[in-house]
Structures are given as structure tokens and as C-alpha cells.
């Protein structure tokens, strides 16, 4: 299992980032702690997909690692969320990250 020496963010730091990213969503409607930390493989609900997509588009890789456990990131990268990412270059970068995390052989030819 890959272990990264990345310091996790405090709850307050996470809240600051999430409130900036999700300024249009009232905090009481969504339990962000549960959304980020819950170890579920099933990411089907459309609103959750939208939230995860926004996180992938808005945050750099290291911020994602600080916001969520690696197991959650892997679940997101193996879900329908990737199918709806735009631009395609961003989608391909996350597909590459998914393949690296899963230990698959990587093709550099495109």
C-alpha cells in the first residue's frame, strides 16, 4: 500500500477550502466531513458526483491528498466522475493518476 508523508489538513483548514469552492451550496445541506472521509466505493448520486468533479477541477493533486484519504481519491477516480470531466486533458491526467495508483502498466504514447 502506498503511504504518503503528507500532513492532513485540520478541520478548520478543510472548511476554509470547501467554503471557497462550494460558495453556492449551503453548508447545512451537505456533510462535507462524511463526503470526504467516508470509505464508500459507491459514488452514484448525481449531487455527490458534481461535488467530486468540482473538487478534481478546482484543487491541485496535493490539496486533494490533504483533503481526502487516498482510498477516497481512488474511489472517485474509479467512478463515473471521471467520465464527466472537462477539458479532456484534465480527464486524461486523472486517468493517468488512477492507473499509477492502481499499478497498471502505463502507455506514454497517448
Cell numbers linked to 79: 467512478
pLDDT one-digit tens code per residue, 61-93: 999 999 998 888 998 998 888 988 989 999 999
73: cell is: 481519491
Q: How many CB atoms lie within 10 A of CB 103?
A: 8
Q: Tell me how far apart the alpha carbons of residues 82 and 61 are, in angstroms, rounded to a whole number.
A: 15
| pTM, two decimal places | 0.71
Q: For residue 39, count other CB atoms closer than 10 A to its CB.
A: 8
Q: What is the largest CA-CA distance in the chain?
A: 46
For 34-60, how does the pLDDT look when each residue is reduced to its tens digit (9 = 90+)? Answer: 777 765 555 557 778 888 999 999 999
Give the angle 27-46-86 at the CA atoms, nearest 5°: 100
Domain definitions of the chain by residue range: 31-102
Amino acid at each position: 500500500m502506498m503511504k504518503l508523508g503528507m500532513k492532513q489538513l485540520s478541520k478548520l483548514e478543510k472548511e476554509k477550502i470547501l467554503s471557497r469552492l462550494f460558495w453556492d451550496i449551503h453548508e447545512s445541506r451537505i456533510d462535507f466531513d462524511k463526503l470526504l472521509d467516508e470509505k464508500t466505493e459507491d459514488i452514484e448520486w448525481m449531487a455527490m458526483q458534481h461535488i467530486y468533479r468540482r473538487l478534481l477541477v478546482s484543487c491541485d493533486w496535493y490539496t486533494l491528498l490533504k483533503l481526502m484519504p487516498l482510498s477516497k481519491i481512488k474511489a472517485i477516480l474509479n467512478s463515473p466522475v471521471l467520465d464527466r470531466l472537462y477539458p479532456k486533458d484534465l480527464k486524461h491526467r486523472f486517468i493517468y493518476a488512477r492507473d499509477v495508483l492502481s499499478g497498471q502498466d502505463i502507455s506514454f504514447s497517448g
